[in-house]
Copies of this chain bind each other. A is one copy, B any other.
Amino acid sequence: MSSGPDFEKHDLIPAIAQDADTGDVLMMAWMNREAYEETLRTGRVCYYSRSRKKLWRKGEESGNVQELQSIYFDCDADTILVKVNQIGGAACHEGYKSCFFQRVDPSTRVVQVEGERLFDPAVVYKKS
């Protein structure tokens, strides 16, 4: 058994966020060791943004923070699962509860949107 996720093998490890109450898979992002440590220490989920190349305190802009309920790592110690209380109800920057709101029909390849927009991204992120 490992003592925790292995950041020696990979600097960045995928972290899956799941709604602790409903079981909905909300999003997948990345953690480095610093983000993982901050998540444990603060009880709020912190990722590492690959595009911005810095810690990403989820919800720092929108207020939709993720309160950590429990944290797991997998058999290979190279993936993290966080169960969270998603403040604001929506994890996705596009305003949906889950980032996985696009469903593919395997036969037709038609993509359908599942779920409603809970907020308007233009308002929350004050983009002009």
Shortest CB distance A102–B (Å): 5
Query: Which residues of the other chain, B, contact A114 by a CB distance below 8 angstroms?
Result: 72
Q: How many monomers of this protein are in the complex?
A: 2
A113 to B103, CA, bound (A): 33
Indicate if the CB atoms of A25 and B28 lie closer than 8 Å. Answer: no
Query: Which residues of the other chain, B, contact A123 by a CB distance below 8 angstroms?
Result: none
Within 8 A of B (CB), among A41-93: 41, 43, 68, 70-76, 79, 81, 92-93
- A residues adjacent to B (C-beta < 8 A): 1-4, 14, 16, 18, 22-25, 27-28, 39-41, 43, 68, 70-76, 79, 81, 92-94, 96, 99-104, 106, 109, 111, 113-114
